[in-house]
A and B are shown apart, each in its own frame.
Chain A
């Protein structure tokens, strides 16, 4: 039972474009101070859902409430508390970074000083390029400017759609640290859509996977991942004998990967001890066991099982 305040409440969201159904039934809740991972394969309906959250697209059916208010009835009041990057950060190319931020600051609902803009540009590492036109910016620089724009009015809810796309490794680490900083120090709520699943695994505490416009699964990242099959690597000798033993056991159905001195298989937590005991009783020397819980595997598992 989550006792935190609900920041986003989406119920049975449906979006049709003519006869094409982009989102057929998506429901989820985001609580205060969550970093909420939004996952799904291409064409799953992620962007359409996020755009509906930002009132860029009108839902065909379903309800969206942000900060416990209906989005359709309190659009402006809600959007004054939301910062976002939708897909890619596009700016007025003929304006400088500073002027772009001034344009968006002016209509963000509260007075934003030039000092605050300068601070944000420094925060994202663009202080030396403030007066340069955006037309000369790389994608990574635009992404940084997009993050500065998102934080302009100190929003309570931040929606980031693929915020690390186009960033160099240091940039990706910076964005990850920024999100964690926003969560822990400023108590912000973040919805993060990303294709980099390891990012979600590292940053998000809750997540949703959608596919074909429907919710596949949602919940705490740790709970969801631990409930899935594990990737277990046994460092052992001899490998051939271990493989043979495995084939004649109850675990013959496990997917296996054989290396020179290791055997990797996909199984559940309660099977690890049994397999280890089986190897030992057959004179197989087990020198180590590595267990991995990977969101990527979980994600693929969920999406594929949904597709089947």
Chain B
């Protein structure tokens, strides 16, 4: 029955026009970045490498598909949570707003199965978005700019990754970004259990991300204790895969924090959804 419910949820997502806003947004923003890099990429690169020109000599194609992909992901990963929340925040509250929750919950399917199906559907949607991001940035980037070594700018210098050492880093980076987006999707789904309109959970999700990000970025000692436990602190953890040496401990810590958030949020969602009186 769970498979049938997941199929139903995916069908609903597929037929909802709003589901394509996220994917369209990624395609458009990526296209803009690719266009800008194609036209004025060398100028952009000179801004980055200019400060090292007196000490380093750069040879070969610095502006390549790998660098463009890295820049694209860095820029887009801030916006993707909004696009994810836009769909997953609507999964339950949208049913309440439309009134279909009444019909759905009078069918011989447990409420837990319905919630699981919505969770798995949001995971699959998130995967589709991240694959779209990966395709647009990495595949199209390599087609347009070719492959090559990746130069990553750090606050204390430059790190150069050889071409054959990059693909696995992107794969792991995308996987960790996927986990952080699942956390956002779970948060939106949980808030969706508490609302009977579609907009509330989406705005609330973005509000929480905004507040946590501000807390995380404020260099004030009072927040030092909670900062490591905020999921927003770990949303950029995918960048750890572009450090050398690899920060295994930090990566595992981020995976643990993000997974813990998913488990706790799902627990709250199940508690609420299974006890909700349907009054809409």
Whether a CB of chain A sits under 8 angstroms from the CB of B7 is yes
State whether B102 touches A90 (Cβ < 8 A). yes
Closest Cβ–Cβ distance, residue B64 to chain A (whole Å): 42
Chain A residues whose C-beta falls within 8 Å of the C-beta of B98 in the assembled complex: 90-93
Whether a CB of chain B sits under 8 angstroms from the CB of A80 is yes
Are A91 and B107 also in contact (CB < 8 A) when A51-B278, A103-B12, A107-B8 are?
A: no
State whether A103 touches B11 (Cβ < 8 A). yes
Chain B residues whose C-beta falls within 8 Å of the C-beta of A84 in the assembled complex: 106
List CB contacts (< 8 Å) of A36-63 with chain B.
51, 54-58
State whether B103 touches A95 (Cβ < 8 A). no
Question: What mask results when residues 95 to 119 of chain B are scored 1 for a CB within 8 Å of chain A, else 0?
Answer: 0001110111111111000000000
> Secondary structure of the A side of the interface?
loop
A202 to B174, CA, bound (A): 66
List CB contacts (< 8 Å) of B1-47 with chain A.
1, 4-5, 7-8, 11-12, 15-17
Question: What mask results when residues 231 to 263 of chain B are scored 1 for a CB within 8 Å of chain A, else 0?
Answer: 000000000000000000000000000000000
Whether a CB of chain A sits under 8 angstroms from the CB of B275 is yes
Chain B residues whose C-beta falls within 8 Å of the C-beta of A87 in the assembled complex: 99, 102
State whether B105 touches A103 (Cβ < 8 A). no
State whether B277 touches A86 (Cβ < 8 A). no
A90 to B280, CA, bound (A): 11
A58 to B98, CA, bound (A): 22
User: What interface size band does chain A fall in?
Assistant: 20 to 34
State whether A88 touches B279 (Cβ < 8 A). no
Whether a CB of chain B sits under 8 angstroms from the CB of A12 is no
**Interface segment out of the listed A71-79, A214-222, A260-268:** A71-79
State whether A57 touches B278 (Cβ < 8 A). yes
State whether B15 touches A88 (Cβ < 8 A). no
Whether a CB of chain B sits under 8 angstroms from the CB of A238 is no
Closest Cβ–Cβ distance, residue A163 to chain B (whole Å): 14
Report the nearest B residue to A58, measured CB to CB: B277
Closest Cβ–Cβ distance, residue B41 to chain A (whole Å): 41
Closest Cβ–Cβ distance, residue B87 to chain A (whole Å): 13
Chain A residues whose C-beta falls within 8 Å of the C-beta of B108 in the assembled complex: 75-80, 107-109
Closest Cβ–Cβ distance, residue A83 to chain B (whole Å): 9
A79 to B279, CA, bound (A): 19
Closest Cβ–Cβ distance, residue B146 to chain A (whole Å): 42
Chain A residues whose C-beta falls within 8 Å of the C-beta of B278 in the assembled complex: 51, 56-57
State whether B15 touches A94 (Cβ < 8 A). yes
State whether A57 touches B109 (Cβ < 8 A). no
A91 to B15, CA, bound (A): 13
Whether a CB of chain B sits under 8 angstroms from the CB of A82 is yes
State whether A55 touches B15 (Cβ < 8 A). no
Whether a CB of chain B sits under 8 angstroms from the CB of A116 is no
Whether a CB of chain B sits under 8 angstroms from the CB of A149 is yes
**Chain A residues in contact with chain B, CB under 8 A?**
17, 51, 54-58, 75-80, 82, 84, 86-95, 99, 103-104, 106-109, 149
A-B contact pairs, 10 of them (CB 8 A): A57-B277, A75-B108, A75-B110, A76-B109, A77-B108, A92-B100, A106-B4, A106-B7, A107-B107, A107-B108
10 closest cross-chain pairs (CB), A and B: A90-B99, A80-B108, A56-B278, A79-B108, A76-B108, A109-B108, A57-B277, A54-B106, A86-B102, A107-B107
Other than A54-B105, A57-B278, give 14 A-B pairs with Cβ distance below 8 A.
Answer: A17-B277, A54-B106, A55-B106, A80-B108, A86-B106, A90-B100, A91-B100, A92-B12, A92-B100, A95-B12, A106-B7, A107-B1, A107-B104, A107-B107
